[in-house]
Amino acid sequence: MVKESPSLRAEEATGNGKDRATRGPGRRLHGAIAHKLGTAILSGQYQPGDTLSGEVAFAEELEVSRSAYREAIQVLTAKGLVESRPKAGTRVLPRTRWNLLDPDVLAWAFAGEPDIQFVRDLFELRAIVEPAAARLAAQRRDKDDLKLMKDALAAMRRHTLATDAGRAADRDFHNAILNATRNDALLVLTASIGAAVNWTTQFKQRARALPRNPIPDHVRVYDAIVAGDPKAAAEAMGVLVDLALEDTASAMER
């Protein structure tokens, strides 16, 4: 048995409890374990069909109690990543069983080197859903929705997409659109994907300076929604997503 000093406990031992509670990988110990195992699975370190042999062995290796490990496994099971059966051990399920749209799973998928094919799938889904959302928003928005969009747009103008505040404003803008659709299912879906994709945006930023000014494209979407023109809103959002895809794709190919 090799002591690898997994540093799961070490994090706690440093007494830096505040950080762990506010923005650690998982706020709690089992959350940290779930994060560790989740990223290992998503990164392909464990293949579907592999077995995480030994409840006790794992608990010892990670230097945590069996309870903590068990609760982490419950989390992974709840997200469809693994399945535990007596005697057989805990096995990684085939990819089709994974809840790829779960925010945590998405976060784990993008924790390491994101799979290019998966990123493309996500953008494709986004290209399907977001224009449709813009269409619905153009039909159903009220004054409050428009105000939220306008404010977010103004914030985007003030800061740029290179800053945290700017990216937050971008998220706010898209969220305002989703809210205007009055569709909860659409909201949670796109919010999850958007959050994950924004991870790749930082990626993109790191690769090179922003190649174009995104404001005019956003304004076109906003104007169409204000005008209550569903067709124009969908088309404007379509080009927005396409451009984002282009930028990300070219950034990842280098």
Partner DNA sequence: CCTTGCAATATGTCGGAGTAATTGAGCTTC
Partner DNA sequence: GAAGCTCAATTACTCCGACATATTGCAAGG
Using CA atoms, how far apart are residues 203 and 43, in angstroms rounded to an integer? 17
CB of 6 to DNA, least distance (A): 12
Using CA atoms, how far apart are residues 170 and 3, in angstroms rounded to an integer? 45
Residue 233 contact among a second copy, DNA, none, beta carbon within 5 to 8 Å by kind: none
Q: Is 30 in the site for DNA (CB under 7 A)?
A: yes
Q: Is 187 in the site for a second copy (CB under 8 A)?
A: yes
- Out of 53, 163, 213, 250, the only residue in the binding site for DNA (CB under 7 A) is 53
List binders of DNA among 191-230 (CB under 7 A).
none
Q: Is 64 in the site for DNA (CB under 7 A)?
A: yes
Residue whose CB is less far from a second copy, 8 or 132: 132
- Out of 7, 39, 160, 183, the only residue in the binding site for a second copy (CB under 8 A) is 183
# residues near DNA by CB under 7 A: 27
- Classify residue 93 by its DSSP letter: P
Q: Is 36 in the site for DNA (CB under 7 A)?
A: no
* 3 state DSSP class of 91: strand
Question: What does the H/E/C string look like for 124-142?
Answer: HHHHHHHHHHHHHHHHHCC
Q: Is 9 in the site for DNA (CB under 7 A)?
A: yes
| DSSP, residue by residue, 36-65 | HHHHHHHTTSS-TT-EE--HHHHHHHTT--
- Out of 29, 75, 105, 224, the only residue in the binding site for DNA (CB under 7 A) is 29
CB of 8 to DNA, least distance (A): 9
Q: Is 132 in the site for a second copy (CB under 8 A)?
A: yes
* 3 state DSSP class of 212: coil
Q: Is 66 in the site for DNA (CB under 7 A)?
A: yes
Q: Is 21 in the site for DNA (CB under 7 A)?
A: yes
List binders of DNA among 102-121 (CB under 7 A).
none
Residue 86 contact among DNA, a second copy, none, beta carbon within 5 to 8 Å by kind: DNA
Q: Give the dihedral of Cα atoms 182, 187, 245, 146; nearest 10 deg.
A: 40
**Phi, psi dihedral angles at 92 (to 5 degrees):** -75, 130
- Classify residue 95 by its DSSP letter: G
**Phi, psi dihedral angles at 114 (to 5 degrees):** -70, 145
8 A C-beta contact, residue 34 and residue 75:
yes
List binders of a second copy among 82-101 (CB under 8 A).
95-96, 98-101
Residue type, 175: N
Q: Is 70 in the site for a second copy (CB under 8 A)?
A: yes
8 A C-beta contact, residue 210 and residue 218:
no
Residues that bind a second copy (CB under 8 A): 30, 34, 67, 70-71, 74-75, 77-80, 95-96, 98-104, 118, 121-122, 124-125, 128-129, 132, 136, 183-189, 191-192
